[in-house]
Every structure is written in structure tokens, then in C-alpha cells.
Amino acid sequence: MNHAFAARIQARTGRAILGARPLSGGCVGEVLLVDLAGGERVVAKIGPGLEPEGWMLCALAERTALPVPATLLADDDLLLMAYVEGRDGLDGPAQAHAADLLADLHDLTWRAYGLERDTVIGGLRQPNPPTARWLDFYRDHRLLYMAGEAHRAGRLPARLLGRIESLAGQLARWIDEPERPGLIHGDCWGGNVLCRDGRVAAFIDPALYYADPEIELAFGTLFGTFGDAFFKRYEERRPIRPGFHEVRRSLYLLYPLLVHVRLFGGGYVGSVERIVDRFLG
């Protein structure tokens, strides 16, 4: 850590820095666990475009009961958070606890789909213009937007972009309008859920907006984050409409997969193509 960042951390916390070491995770900048005099620990993210993440963490802390790290500083190039220990995986009782927490979050609603401001996912801009209809929002500001970004980055072939555009124009064949928007974390995979002693200690790295909450549930299956215990408990709290597991889950997986195509390319392109081929033939 350079002296300028160290000085800002010391000024904000009022404590001397005793040491710092890298933490894994995140697509943006450097993530450090910082030991301070007096035994306190904080997490420092250093890199460009961090203010939206700090804003989202503060919004979750102020508006919801979802556990998140306390935000100490949210500048564009430095995000400082309280350290939350997560020494266990998301399994057993923690799955049911995660279901309770997300069901409560998804019950929070708003006047439209989107949010009052744009957010980020994996460091990428995530546009959130308030939109009356979910199908319009998902088509224009998730599928078509991220497919276009992936194509411009040279990671999505033009032919596949055209097929995604065709699929996006037919979403109403498979997806009905939800009853109302629900607030979602937006980036729920195992690395963003810190667990300890069978409970969720904190959710990190949000990508907030109001959506059909089923897109959150779909994302949670992409890397095996949510299992049977999660879905059993979630359905007790918020019944899932018929057809999610069989049809809509795959359509909702297209957005996080396109995010991964934009960030990484590689095998994620094939995953997108298989889903598109399933629905378009």
C-alpha cells in the first residue's frame, strides 16, 4: 500500500496501520485486510470506480435488514469497510438463513424496475433507468446492454449477438410480468456471502436494483451457491411461480453469463450459446 492511501486510512480510522495483506475476491482493484493499532481490522479496496459499491452498501444498511459490512469511507478510488470474518462455507443452516434474509430483501418493493441511480456489477456499469415493465427492463438494460458491451469488447461474436437480440425480442413467450418489483442483491454467488457458525455474517459486493427476484435465485444456481436447503426454506417464505426451474432460470442466467463473457470471455460464450440454442432451436 502506498503512503497516500495509508495516510487516508489512518486519518479516517484514527489508528496507526500495523500491517496489511491481500484478500482474495473482487474484480476491481486491490483488496487488503488492514491491521490497525488496538486490534481493529478493516478491509480496504483500492482502485477506480469504487464509489457505487460504497453507496450500495450504505443503501442496504440504511434501508434493509440484510447484513453488510459497515462502510467507513466510500471515495471513487478507496473503499474502506469494517472487516467481517467469514470462515465457513454457505452450507447447512446457513443456506436456510440466507433464504430468510433474501426473502425479506425481495419483499421490499418500489415504483418501477431499476433504481434511482446506475450501479455496477464486477466493476462494469449496470444501467438502472426506472422502467414500468420488467420485460422491457430485462430486455433493454440487461440482455441487450450487456450483450452489446461484450461484443464491443471483442468477446461475443456478431452472430451470437444477433441471436441474443432475436431471443430478447421474444421474452414474453416464456416470461410473464411479475406482480411487482423486488429489491435484489444482484451478485449472489458463494464468494459474496460470508458465513460463520451456520449463519450468514454479511453479504458483500452488491449490484443492487429492483427486479423480478427470480433473477437472483437463478444467479444463485450458476456456481452452485444455493442448494436444496435454500430453495426449500425460500419457498416457505415466498412461493416460486411454476416454470422457474424448468424454463425461466435458464433465461435469467443469460445476464450473469453475459457479464462473465464481457469480463472473461472463454467458455462462458459457449454457455450463453447453449441457452440461446435451447430457446431458438
Report how far residue 31's alpha carbon sits from residue 42's, in angstroms, rounded to the nearest whole number. Answer: 11
Alpha-helical segments (H) within the chain: 3-13, 51-63, 93-106, 134-138, 144-152, 158-168, 214-222, 228-237, 249-264, 268-280
Q: Which of 87, 60, 81 is nearest to 195 (CA)?
A: 87
Q: Is 23 left (phi over 0), alpha (psi -120 to 50) or beta?
A: beta
State whether 31 and 146 are in the same domain. Answer: no
All three cell numbers of 121, joined, read 456489477
Query: What integer pLDDT is reported at residue 25 of this predicted model?
Result: 64
Helix axes 214-222 and 228-237, enclosed angle (nearest 10): 170
State the average pLDDT over residues 179-199: 95
State whether 206 and 148 are in the same domain. Answer: yes
Q: What percent of the chain has pLDDT over 90?
A: 93
State whether 160 and 42 are in the same domain. Answer: no
State whether 216 and 173 are in the same domain. Answer: yes
Q: What number of other Cβ atoms are within 10 A of residue 188's Cβ?
A: 28
Is the pLDDT higher at 151 or at 88?
151
Q: Distance of CA 38 to CAs 13, 34, 219, Å?
A: 11, 12, 40
Across the chain, how many H-helices and E-strands are there? 10, 11
Q: Which residue in this structure is represented by grid cell 434493509?
A: 64
pLDDT above 70 (res 26): no
Q: Is 88 contained in some domain?
A: no
State whether 65 and 100 are in the same domain. Answer: no
Write down which residue in 51, 82, 113 finishes a domain.
82
| Alpha carbons within 13 A on the beta-carbon side of 208 | 25
For the segment 114-155, what is each residue's pLDDT rounded down to a tens digit? 999 999 999 999 999 999 999 999 999 999 999 999 999 999
Report how far residue 153's alpha carbon sits from residue 151's, in angstroms, rounded to the nearest whole number. Answer: 5
State whether 56 and 146 are in the same domain. Answer: no
Q: Is 264 contained in some domain?
A: yes
Q: How confident is the model at residue 275 (pLDDT cuts 50, 70, 90)?
A: very high
What is this structure's pTM?
A: 0.96
Give the 3-state secondary structure of residue 45: strand
Q: Is 87 contained in some domain?
A: no
Specify the number of domains making up the chain: 2
Report how far residue 60's alpha carbon sits from residue 52's, in angstroms, rounded to the nearest whole number. Answer: 12
State whether 36 and 122 are in the same domain. Answer: no
Query: What integer pLDDT is reported at residue 88 of this predicted model?
Result: 84
CATH at 30: 3.30.200.20
Report how far residue 65's alpha carbon sits from residue 51's, in angstroms, rounded to the nearest whole number. Answer: 22
State whether 68 and 44 are in the same domain. Answer: yes
Q: How confident is the model at residue 29 (pLDDT cuts 50, 70, 90)?
A: confident
State the average pLDDT over residues 180-199: 95
For the segment 248-267, what is each residue's pLDDT rounded down to a tens digit? 999 999 999 999 999 999 99
Length of the chain: 281
Give the 3-state secondary structure of residue 124: strand
Chain centroid, CA 262 distance in Å: 15
In which domain, by residue range, is 119 found? 93-280
Query: What integer pLDDT is reported at residue 89 of this predicted model?
Result: 86
Write down which residue in 29, 58, 82 finishes a domain.
82
Write down which residue in 82, 106, 141 finishes a domain.
82
State whether 56 and 153 are in the same domain. Answer: no
Q: Is 176 contained in some domain?
A: yes
Q: Is 174 contained in some domain?
A: yes
State whether 109 and 8 are in the same domain. Answer: no
Query: What integer pLDDT is reported at residue 92 of this predicted model?
Result: 85
Determine contact, residues 115/137, Cβ cutoff 8 Å. no
Q: What is the mean pLDDT of the chain?
A: 96
Q: What percent of the chain has pLDDT over 70?
A: 99
Q: Which residue in this structure is represented by grid cell 478507496?
A: 78
State whether 112 and 73 are in the same domain. Answer: no
Chain centroid, CA 104 distance in Å: 17
Q: Which of 191, 208, 219 is nearest to 126 (CA)?
A: 208
State the average pLDDT over residues 213-234: 96
Query: What integer pLDDT is reported at residue 27 of this predicted model?
Result: 64
CATH at 128: 3.90.1200.10
